[in-house]
């Protein structure tokens, strides 16, 4: 199956003219009226704080005393702070492991669900249930299930003759452990894939089967291209979520005095370090600068993903 549909996109001027012309219609006004709550929310609760955060990033501010302008000092400190480097490195490694693992497991589960037949509803609910577990609970469960001596996972591994690693204390295994724990909650991604899989036309599989395509060829040349839109969407969303990871690792390693005392650098994700700077040490200006660096990192990574991935994405029926 080949998929190529050339489209001739209008230029920016033409698009602007078309957009302005839309205001001649009552439907456009109605649409904007319905969009107003979101627009206001964005202005007051997103873009407003973003501007404030940028201004604060140029100051030294501890909440209790008025901000003091320091120019680009906070950004200069960012470059020299070894913990910024470490936390960024941790976050990137975690994301690189998390995204493909989540996508693979979610896709596998969605394909199983597609074949379950009458019990599909039951299994769909069962598979989705872990998604309902609060991330804080996941963080605590991580410490219990992944304990190197008594954790359920290591006991299971031991039963089949594999000595399990110290997931919660060995810096080399902390991030893989957190990824495994996060993969547990793939229900949301799975549901998206399930919907995409249900939309793949049956006749494409029938035609491929008649041509003698094996199950693997049908998966590679029919299924994957046909759900590539969903894969692309989850790829972007999961990457952003990975780069903003906070709750599970914070609960497990930094959430209270006891866990904080033993907090490992291996679990210091960027947003956790940002949170510490802002709310533990009250370096609001520095934390704001950190937030802008993260914004920049996410934006660059997303742009690269969009540029690279768009070549592999196929939208069925698009002209």
Residues that bind another protein (CB under 8 A): 30, 33, 36-37, 40-41, 44, 60, 62-65, 82-83, 143, 147-151, 163, 165-166, 168-171, 261-266, 276, 279-282
Q: Measured from the CB atom, is 230 or 249 closer to another protein?
A: 249
Which is closer to another protein, CB of 62 or CB of 211? 62
Please identify, using beta-carbon distances, which residue of 59 and 189 lies nearer to another protein.
59
68 in helix, strand or coil? strand
Instruction: Return the number of the residue (69 or 122) whose C-beta is nearest another protein.
Output: 69
Cβ 174 to another protein shortest distance, Å? 9
Rounded to whole angstroms, how far apart are CA atoms 138 and 50?
30
How far, in Å, CA of 91 to CA of 98, rounded? 10
Residue 166 CB, nearest approach to another protein (Å): 3
Rounded distance, CA 294 to CA 301, Å?
Answer: 11
Torsion angle defined by CA atoms of residues 204, 205, 207 and 210, in that order, rounded to the nearest 10 degrees = 180
The one-character DSSP state at 60 is E
C-alpha span between 74 and 76 (Å, rounded): 5
Closer CB to another protein, 30 or 299, in the complex: 30
Minimum distance from residue 62 beta carbon to another protein (Å): 6
The least distance separating another protein from the CB of residue 263, rounded to whole angstroms, comes to 6
Three-class SS state of 50: helix
Element holding 59 (H helix, E strand): strand 59-60
Q: Which is nearer to another protein, 166 or 292 (CB)?
A: 166
Task: Report how far residue 123's alpha carbon sits from residue 119's, in angstroms, rounded to the nearest whole number.
Answer: 6
Residue with Cβ nearer another protein (60 or 244): 60
**Alpha-carbon distance 90 to 269, whole Å?**
6
Nearest-5° Cα angle at 300, 318 to 190: 55
**Residue 279 C-beta: closest distance to another protein, Å:** 4
- Closest C-alpha to 224, from 257, 195, 188, 197: 197
- Cβ 63 to another protein, closest distance in Å? 4
Residue 25 CB, shortest distance to another protein, in Å, is 14
What is the residue-wise DSSP string for 134-172? Answer: -HHHHHHHHHHHT-TTT-HHHHHHHHTT-PPP-TTT-HH
Six-digit token string for 310: 């768009």
Minimum CB distance to another protein smaller for 7 or for 257 = 257
Shortest approach of another protein to residue 295 CB, angstroms?
A: 23
Query: Phi/psi of residue 69, each to 5°?
Result: -65, 125
Nearer of residues 85 and 198 to another protein, judged by Cβ: 85
How far apart CA 289 and CA 65 sit, in angstroms, is 19
Q: Minimal distance in Å, beta carbon 11 to another protein?
A: 34
């Amino acid at each position: 199956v080949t998929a190529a549909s050339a489209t001739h996109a209008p230029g920016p001027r033409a698009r602007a003219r078309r957009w302005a012309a839309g205001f001649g219609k009552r439907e456009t006004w109605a649409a904007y009226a319905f969009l107003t709550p979101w627009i206001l929310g964005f202005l007051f609760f997103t873009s407003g704080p973003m501007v404030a955060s940028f201004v604060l990033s140029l100051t030294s501010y501890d909440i209790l005393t008025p901000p003091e302008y320091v120019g680009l000092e906070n950004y200069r400190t960012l470059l020299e702070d070894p913990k910024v480097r470490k936390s960024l490195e941790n976050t990137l490694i975690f994301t690189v492991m998390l995204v493909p693992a989540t996508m693979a497991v979610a896709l596998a589960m969605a394909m199983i669900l597609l074949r379950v037949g009458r019990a599909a509803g039951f299994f769909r609910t069962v598979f989705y249930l872990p998604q309902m577990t609060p991330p804080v609970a996941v963080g605590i469960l991580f410490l219990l299930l992944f304990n190197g001596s008594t954790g359920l996972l290591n006991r299971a591994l031991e039963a089949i003759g594999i000595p399990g690693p110290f997931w919660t204390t060995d810096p080399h295994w902390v991030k893989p452990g957190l990824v495994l724990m996060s993969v547990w909650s793939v229900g949301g991604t799975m549901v998206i894939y399930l919907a995409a899989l249900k939309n793949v036309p049956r006749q494409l599989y029938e035609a491929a089967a008649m041509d003698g395509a094996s199950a693997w060829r049908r998966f590679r040349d029919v299924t994957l291209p046909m759900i590539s839109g969903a894969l692309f969407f989850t790829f972007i969303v999961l990457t952003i979520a990975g780069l903003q990871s906070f709750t599970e690792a914070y609960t497990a390693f930094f959430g209270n005095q006891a866990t904080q005392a033993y907090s490992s650098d291996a679990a210091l994700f960027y947003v956790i370090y940002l949170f510490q700077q802002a709310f533990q040490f009250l370096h609001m200006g520095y934390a704001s600068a950190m937030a802008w660096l993260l914004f920049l990192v996410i934006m660059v990574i997303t742009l690269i993903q969009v540029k690279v991935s768009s070549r592999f994405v196929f939208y069925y029926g698009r002209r």
